[in-house]
Each structure stands twice: as C-alpha cells, then as structure tokens.
Amino acid sequence: MKQLQEFIYPNSIEEALSFLDESTEIIAGGTHITVSKNQSFKRLVDITRIGLNYIKKEDHQVRIGSTTTVTEMIESSIVRKIGNGILTKACQLIADTPLRNIITLGGNIARYYPWAGLPVVLLVIDAEIIIVDKEGLEQTISATKYFKNAKVKTGEIIKEVVFPVQSDWFYRYEKFALTTVDYSWLTMAFGAKNEGGSIVDPHIAVSRITKVTRVSEVEKLLEGKELSKLNINEVIQTLRTSVNVVSDYRSSKEYREHLLGILFKRMLNEMKEEGK
Ligand SMILES: Cc1cc2nc3c(=O)[nH]c(=O)nc-3n(C[C@H](O)[C@H](O)[C@H](O)COP(=O)(O)OP(=O)(O)OC[C@H]3O[C@@H](n4cnc5c(N)ncnc54)[C@H](O)[C@@H]3O)c2cc1C
C-alpha cells in the first residue's frame, strides 16, 4: 500500500462520512484489504469506534449494528432467536476463530464476496439494510433489492441490518465445504411457513455457485404446495435448471448442480418431518 498517507479513527458516523471519497477505503474488520488486489488507497477510515457495535431487540425485530463481529453474533442469545438460529449457524461456519473475532456483519455484505456466508441468510429472512449517505440521510433497502442492484456506494456507510423475528417459520442454512474452515463450495438458505401442511411464502437463496440470488422460479413452484404431495424430483430439476451454476477450479458445474439438488432435497424432507 505504497500510496497510503492517512489512517483515520473517527468517533462518530458523521465524522467517518466526512472523510469518504474515491481515494478512501473503509476498514471494519480489515480482513479484505489483506487480500484485495486494489492497494491504491490514500486514506483508510476505521469505523469500529463510531458506535455501530450493538445488537438491539425490539418488538418483532432485531437491529444489529454493522461493526458487530461474527463472534459477538454467535455469542448473542438475541441473535439465536432470529430465524430459529439460522444467523447463528451461518456465523459459526464462517472461516476460523481469529477471523470470526474481527469479521463484521457490514464487511460481510458490503462487497460481493462469493464465499460470504451472510448474504443468503439476509435474503431468506427478508432483512433490511440501513445505509447512511454523506448528507446523513438514511435509506432502508430490502435485502432482495440490495443484493440485486443496490449495494453500498462510495461515500456511504452501512449503519445496521434489521432482522424480523419469525419463530413460526422453518429455516435451514447449508455451507458445503471440504473442512469447516474451507471456503464454501456452495452456500444455500431456505425459509418458508408451513400452513396446515402447505408451503407458504418460500424464500430460497444460493451463492458461491452463482452470484448471490433468490431462486424465484422455484419459490413460485413451491408456493401453496402440500408437503405430503410434493414432487421433490420435479422441484430439484427446476432448481438445477433455474440457477445459472458456474464451475471453478474446485468443482465442475455438473457436480455443483448435483450438490444443489441434494442439499435442497434434504431441506424439504426436514421441513416435512418437522411439520413446521
Ligand atoms: C482467509 C479468509 C477466509 C475467509 N473465510 C470466510 C468464510 O468462510 N465465510 C465468510 O463469509 N467470510 C469469510 N472471510 C471473510 C470475507 O472474505 C471478508 O474478508 C469479510 O467478510 C470482510 O469483513 P470485514 O469486517 O473484515 O470487512 P473489511 O475487510 O474491513 O471491509 C470489506 C469491504 O467492505 C467495506 N465495508 C466494511 N464495512 C462497511 C460498512 N459498514 N459500510 C460500508 N462499507 C463497508 C470496506 O470498505 C471494504 O471494501 C474470509 C476471509 C479471509 C481473509
């Protein structure tokens, strides 16, 4: 980082915003800059002291500040109530202990990291992302919109993420990797209601094998279907053809499509068994 001239530690969100421009990079956990190809920044702004480290329970939702670390989320009994523990599980499967101690919620969703574990969780849980711009204006963006085309821009800071608490929903999260600390080969999350044995409002999100996305074709196919009469093979076939699976040096497209089907079949069978 030969061009680096300043390292700033602001004490408020307003102060942090005042330093942001094209030549500046925000540092939260700081884990990405170590591996980033872009080392041309003149100024780094550390946002870990601007008051965004919190987990707050409200009536039917939980607000998590963007600099809250993965370990802090794992240890929180409030976070365990979000999506029947789906956020806690996804956090537990991120990297290793030293990294979990510094990686932050905001840092995991600010850019597109194909191996990032949290975006699929935000998508299936209908989380909302609060972004603040240089004028101090707050924008609330649904996770679906955010990951489609509304990522945080230069001059903005992710302030917090709002998670609804829906304890009557069925949720599952899977990260397929060779070891627990390995980068993901496939990341997937599923959430839906079981109303009298039928699937209602299904949310399916995948990443790593494709750009993080919800799978609306399969969500439409599943809507209102009775679990006991579900043609799982048809669902799996539709899933494999609707996701634009890409291969990488770790595994082929065919292998990943196969894996996608197996993991989702397992989730649907568990939903049937649980009756929720
Ligand atoms: C060896 C290794 C293994 C890893 N394995 C996994 C894994 O298995 N699963 C997983 O999910 N992640 C994993 N990660 C972490 C992931 O790759 C990112 O590095 C991490 O999520 C970034 O979080 P951070 O808090 O360190 O953010 P930083 O590195 O500080 O920032 C990342 C980017 O986000 C921006 N940013 C950060 N916070 C905000 C904010 N509040 N508002 C606006 N912009 C912001 C920064 O400017 C920067 O561009 C791994 C990282 C490493 C180094």
Asked whether 256 and 185 are in contact (CB, 8 A), the reply is yes
Of the candidates 258, 257, 231, 262, the residue with the CA atom closest to the CA atom of residue 244:
257
Query: Is residue 3 over pLDDT 90?
Result: no
Query: What is the distance in A from the centroid of ligand 1 to the CA of 225?
Result: 38
Token pair of 160, please?
Answer: 């917090």
Query: What is the distance in A from the centroid of ligand 1 to the CA of 25?
Result: 12
Q: Cα(44)–Cα(147) distance, rounded to whole angstroms?
A: 25
Q: Cα(56)–Cα(209) distance, rounded to whole angstroms?
A: 33
Query: Is residue 39 over pLDDT 80?
Result: no
Beta partners for 87? none
Token pair of 211, please?
Answer: 């750009």
**What do you get for the CA distance between the two ends of the chain, in Å?**
52
The minimum-distance atom of ligand 1 relative to the CA of 26 is: 47
Q: Output the pLDDT for position 95.
A: 94
- Closest-CA residue, ligand 1 atom 1, reads 95
The minimum-distance atom of ligand 1 relative to the CA of 30 is: 30
pLDDT tier at 167, thresholds 50, 70, 90 = confident
Q: Cα(246)–Cα(257) distance, rounded to whole angstroms?
A: 9
Q: Output the pLDDT for position 248.
A: 86
Query: What is the distance in A from the centroid of ligand 1 to the CA of 81?
Result: 24
